[in-house]
Amino acid sequence: MEKRKLGNSGLEVSALGLGCMRMSFGDTPTDKQEMLTFMHKAVERGVTFFDTAEVYGPFTNEELVGEALEPFKGKVVIATKFGWKHGEKGPHPSVGQDSRPEQIKRVAEASLKRLRVEVIDLFYQHRPDPAVPMEDVAGAVKDLIAAGKVRHFGLSEASAEQIRRAHTAQPVTALQSEYSIWWRNIEAEILPTCEELGIGVVPYSPLGRGYLTGKIDENTSYDSTDIRSRNPRFQPDAIKANRVVIDLLERFGAEKGATPAQIALAWLLAQKPWIVPIPGSRKLERLDENLGAVKIELTPTDLDEIAAAMAQIKVVGDRY
């Protein structure tokens, strides 16, 4: 597996990471033992970068990841996140945000235990908290780094200005943000800011919540617990209208002997050498398909053709 460094930090990870959220959180129940085995298989295939958060579950996803990866201490990088309030049943986005320094430090201690590690490799703020200055957030993580409890500081879905403010107080190693061939809003300001400051970018939903695999059509239905059942891009009219994106991926896939998903991931990998997508997966065949993207080379001419084609496409539906 090819390795990449997240910006100037020196943090080296596999070129593709693994988003673990849906292994224990979301619409479809999973078997714990199957997921433990699945993560072991991912490590065997060279994946060294795993993404979780305390809010996934809540708590259960960190516990699952911690149990699965305990045998591989020192060989893998685990990223987790802070930033939500704690209700009686635990943290959840609907409860509200909480990135106060005391909360960040409390979450770090709890996450260390659930992940079964002595230090958190990469600690993201899950979303900017309008009630807490970015400098205070960065300062709290700086204290945790000084105490040997965190190695690297990350942000998620932050603006260019927020990134700069945080980076001044404590160098930011990585920004996690939605980014894919059909959601490119970070290209205008955020990507250039990360490049200037030496910050790696970790795209989540790099396959457009599954749409870019080409396996979804207007007849696909979702359970009410699935976020896609309410997502504007997954309504029948939008699914049909956006088929032109899949047609484009299929055309290049035919030339490269690749699937639409592999082209979508290869496109992301070709944008910058410090970009590390984290597609979520729970099936071995899907994981193997995704990992195959690392070996696909899109030439500058390919990328120019894709850019020209996408410039003519208006993607239908907001991302949320």
As a whole number, mean pLDDT of residues 207-215 equals: 96
Report the DSSP pairing between strands 18-19 and 49-51: parallel
User: Which one, of 167, 178, 123, lies nearest residue 145 by Cα?
Assistant: 123
Residue 114 lies in a domain: yes
In the residue annotation, 179 being an active-site residue is answered as no
Residue 35: which residues within 8 A CB-CB, separation 6 or more? 23, 24, 64, 68, 282
How does pLDDT run across 87-139, given as a tens digit for each residue? Answer: 655 566 567 999 999 999 999 999 999 999 999 999 999 999 999 999 999 99
Residue 133 lies in a domain: yes
Distance in angstroms (rounded) separating the CA atoms of residues 288 and 7: 26
pLDDT confidence of residue 128: 98
Cβ atoms of 86 and 95 within 8 Å: the answer is yes
Number of domains the chain is built from:
1
Residue 84 lies in a domain: yes
Distances (CA, A) of 194 to 72, 185, 191, 200: 30, 14, 5, 7
Residue 53 lies in a domain: yes
Cβ atoms of 298 and 38 within 8 Å: the answer is no
Cβ atoms within 10 Å, residue 3: 12
Cβ atoms of 198 and 167 within 8 Å: the answer is no
pLDDT confidence of residue 319: 87
Cβ atoms within 10 Å, residue 11: 21
Question: What backbone phi and psi angles, to 5 degrees, belong to 171?
Answer: -50, 130
Least confident of 29-33, 110-114, 261-265, 272-276: 29-33
The alpha-helical segments, DSSP class H, found in 170-259 are: 190-197, 236-241, 243-256
Distance in angstroms (rounded) separating the CA atoms of residues 223 and 234: 12
How does pLDDT run across 30-69, given as a tens digit for each residue? Answer: 899 999 999 999 999 999 999 999 999 889 999 999 999 9
Residue 137 lies in a domain: yes
As a whole number, mean pLDDT of residues 180-200 equals: 98
> E strand or H helix at 288, and its extent?
helix 284-291
Distance in angstroms (rounded) separating the CA atoms of residues 200 and 3: 13
Residue 166 lies in a domain: yes
* Ramachandran area for residue 208 (φ above 0: left; ψ -120 to 50: alpha; else beta): left
**Active-site residue, from 56, 124, 204, 211:** 56
Distance in angstroms (rounded) separating the CA atoms of residues 161 and 51: 25
Arithmetic mean of pLDDT over the chain: 95
Which CATH number fits the domain that encloses residue 179? Answer: 3.20.20.100
pLDDT confidence of residue 61: 96
Residue 156 lies in a domain: yes
Residue 308 token pair: 């020209």
User: Which one, of 260, 182, 265, lies nearest residue 15 by Cα?
Assistant: 265
Domain ranges, residue 142: 3-208+272-295
- pTM for the full model? 0.96
Distance in angstroms (rounded) separating the CA atoms of residues 123 and 157: 14
Residue 245 lies in a domain: no
As a whole number, mean pLDDT of residues 7-15 equals: 97
- Cα dihedral 240, 245, 246, 249 in deg (nearest 10): 170
As a whole number, mean pLDDT of residues 1-23 equals: 97
Question: What backbone phi and psi angles, to 5 degrees, belong to 156?
Answer: -135, 130
